[in-house]
Amino acid sequence: MIKGIAASKGYAIGTVLIKEDTEVKVEERRIEDIQGEKDRFERALKASKEQLQQIKEKAEKELGADKAAVFESHMMLLEDPEFAGAVLMGIESSKVNAEKALEDVLNMYAGIFAAMEDEYMRERGADIKDVGSRILANLAGKAVGISEYKDNTVVVAHDLTPSDTAQLDRSKVIAFLTNIGGRTSHSAIMARTLEIPAVVGLQDITSAVKDGDTVIVDGVEGIAIVNPDAETVKAYEAKKEAYKKEREELKKLIDVKTVTKAGKRVEVAGNIGKPEDVHQVLANGGDGIGLFRTEFLYMDRDDMPGEEEQFESYKYAVEKMEGRPVVIRTLDIGGDKKLPYLPLPEEMNPFLGYRAIRLCLDRTDIFKIQLRALLRASAFGNLKIMFPMISSLEEFLKSKEILEECMDELRTEGKEFNENLETGIMVEIPAAAVNADELAKYVDFFSIGTNDLIQYTLAADRMNEKISYLYNPMHPAVLKLIKMTIEAAHKEGKWCGMCGEMAGDEKAIPTLVEYGLDEFSMSASSILNAKKLIMEN
């Protein structure tokens, strides 16, 4: 039995197919024929585009347009003249081979992503790597086409890139296992979309198995069992059957309104990073969007998104949600979540530094563009604005003042927006929770951001594995702050949600129901299970 990270729930028993690593080792060479080398790079780039186009079309057919969108961003990188230009310039100025010049540019891009605080964004560095590996493989003349699979295949690989995952033939591939990766790596997200079990981060599974071995994939516990005995196979057949039944049962909850045992109606919503993610939330029966992390719109690009572009994104999300609530959080950037085009000073304690609302209140030029776009989109659906990292009433009032300024501007310009739009705050700094009774008088709602609230309350960095044992959502101090926040909101007749990971945590749900939480917001694939648990409590 080999232990890894459970990336996608479910069980599978199948035959191993090791996916060969197409990774190319880059060696530096000095080049005399500069033009010849540039041509070689241009040919590899063209071949990569053609392959990606094919994969994208296949993905669109099999996974749907929203999931194929990841290849759109790969294409964009391939077509970005700055990307290709940087490689060509590298060949010319350093007189090195195309592989080396490409590697340098990829490393630069990867460095930008690796420095980001958000785990999801860090994992997006994998997309850059994916595109880079494809060009490198083409430079080396390696085949990177679409593979053929036998029935009941479990793909075992060092890593699976998004394009590898999209190429998996769903009728044949029943699960996958990888040496590396985390829960929010793209392959893991894809596996959850495909609803096939997957275990990642198994360290050396590629050496532990050979082609043709039988393997059990336990995507619930995050384990792989190689060449199991008959008894284990039997036990897993039963688990698989039970799980299938359970999923089918859960699907019945898609259109069911969630009501607790005590008869309280609660909202179960989804967290999104991009406007297209709303489809996944709807497919899983989400009642709304409890958190739209807008910083994703600002990343993966080299200039600030303008008002028009942001307006289109927010409008798309609210329109597709057809009147359901969509809580959009204003820019939560800063600390070590950096934007390449917005230089910020180095800080000793970035988590306690110049970030989120603190940055926006200082850079009102940036803030107002977003607020105007949000206001204009509010005319098209049920949009609510949420301010992140609020520590004091002054910050909220100042944010509202700037929002009012934007409203005045739009009125003068004759542009429509919802005059009664709700504004709320993230309660993710202990000071806000302690002071919730005062804040509740002014806001329309709270959403508890437990990811940060826990780290600040327990002084335990949410990203440091060494002290992860301290990072405990059920710590009595954390629970007290949550309870206080919910009670303070209710006392003023306001609603209180939660958009941190804790909202979808099976162990926490009963307590949160008991405290009277009104809205639970989580990743789309957790929604149905949360609905079930909430209804049982």
Q: Which residues are catalytic?
A: 186, 499
Contact 134, 144 (CB under 8 A): yes
d(CA 214, CA 199): 16
What are 199's strand-pairing partners? Answer: 6, 177
Q: Which of Mg ion, ligand PEP, none lies near 184, with the C-beta cut-off 5 to 8 A by kind?
A: none
Yes or no: say if 166 and 58 are a contact pair by the CB < 8 Å rule: yes
For ligand PEP, the closer of residues 310 and 450 by Cβ is 450
Nearer to Mg ion, 130 or 428 (CB): 428
Task: Compute the distance between CA of residue 426 and CA of residue 495 in angstroms, rounded to an integer.
Answer: 12
Which range binds Mg ion by CB under 5 A, 9-17, 25-33, 300-308, 444-452? 444-452
500 contact choice in ligand PEP, Mg ion, none (CB below 5 to 8 Å, kind-dependent): ligand PEP
Those residues with Cβ within 8 angstroms of residue 31's Cβ, 6 or more apart along the chain or in another chain:
37, 91, 95, 96, 97
Query: What is the distance between the alpha carbons of residues 190 and 261, in angstroms, rounded to a whole number?
Result: 34
Which residues make up the interface to ligand PEP (CB under 6 A)? 291, 293, 332, 428, 449-452, 499-500
Closest CA to 443 of 504, 506, 499, 485: 485
- Residues 161 and 159: their CA atoms lie apart, in Å, by 6
The item of Mg ion, ligand PEP, none sharing an interface with residue 450, based on CB under 5 to 8 Å by kind, is: ligand PEP
Establish if 219 lies at the interface with Mg ion (CB under 5 A): no
Q: Please state the closest distance from residue 461 (CB atom) to ligand PEP, in A.
A: 13
Residue 300 binding target from ligand PEP, Mg ion, none, CB below 5 to 8 Å by type: none
Tokens coding 30: 């000095």
Q: Which is nearer to ligand PEP, 267 or 452 (CB)?
A: 452
Please check whether residue 313 is in contact with residue 297, taking contact to mean a CB–CB distance below 8 angstroms: yes
Q: Is 300 in the site for Mg ion (CB under 5 A)?
A: no
Among 90, 285, 449, 497, binds Mg ion (CB under 5 A): 449
List the strands of the sheet with 5-8, edge to edge.
Answer: 2-3, 223-226, 214-218, 11-18, 153-157, 173-178, 198-200, 5-8
Shortest CB 498 distance to ligand PEP, Å = 8
Collapsing DSSP to helix, strand or coil, 290 comes out as strand
118 binds Mg ion (CB under 5 A): no
By beta-carbon proximity to Mg ion, the closer residue of 63 and 360 is 360
SS (H, E, C) 395-421: HHHHHHHHHHHHHHHHHHHCCCCCCCC
Q: How far is the CB of 350 from Mg ion (least distance, A)?
A: 13
Could you tell me which of 86, 426, 116 has the C-alpha nearest to residue 298? 116
Least Å distance, CB 455 to ligand PEP, is 8
Determine how many CB atoms are found less than 10 A away from the CB of residue 231.
Answer: 8
Of the pair 71, 387, the CB lying nearest Mg ion is at 387
Tell me how far, at minimum, the Cβ of 437 lies from ligand PEP, in Å. Answer: 21
Q: Which is nearer to Mg ion, 52 or 297 (CB)?
A: 297
275 binds Mg ion (CB under 5 A): no
- C-alpha dihedral, 109 to 114 to 118 to 120, nearest 10°: 70
Separation between Cα atoms, residue 524 and residue 503, nearest integer Å:
12
Min dist. Cβ of residue 14 to ligand PEP (A) = 35
Q: 121 vs 266, which CB is nearer to ligand PEP?
A: 121
Cβ nearer to ligand PEP, comparing 76 with 114: 114
**Residue 152 binds which one of Mg ion, ligand PEP, none, with CB within 5 to 8 A depending on kind?**
none
452 binds Mg ion (CB under 5 A): yes
**Residue matched to tokens 């350093």:** 94
Residue 282 touches which member of ligand PEP, Mg ion, none, C-beta under 5-8 Å by kind: none
How near is the Cβ of 1 to ligand PEP at its closest, in Å?
Answer: 33
Single-letter amino acid code for the residue at 227 = N
Element (H, E) at 243: helix 230-251
Q: Does 273 bind Mg ion (CB under 5 A)?
A: no
Report which residue's Cβ sits closest to Mg ion.
452
Dump the DSSP string for 151-183: TTEEEEES---HHHHHHS-TTTEEEEEESS--T
Pair of tokens at residue 36: 């010849």
Structure tokens at 75: 């294409």
Q: From the list ligand PEP, Mg ion, none, pick the one residue 499 interacts with, judged by a Cβ distance below 5 to 8 Å according to partner type.
A: ligand PEP
| Shortest CB 286 distance to ligand PEP, Å | 16
| Binding stretches for Mg ion (CB under 5 A) | 428, 449, 452
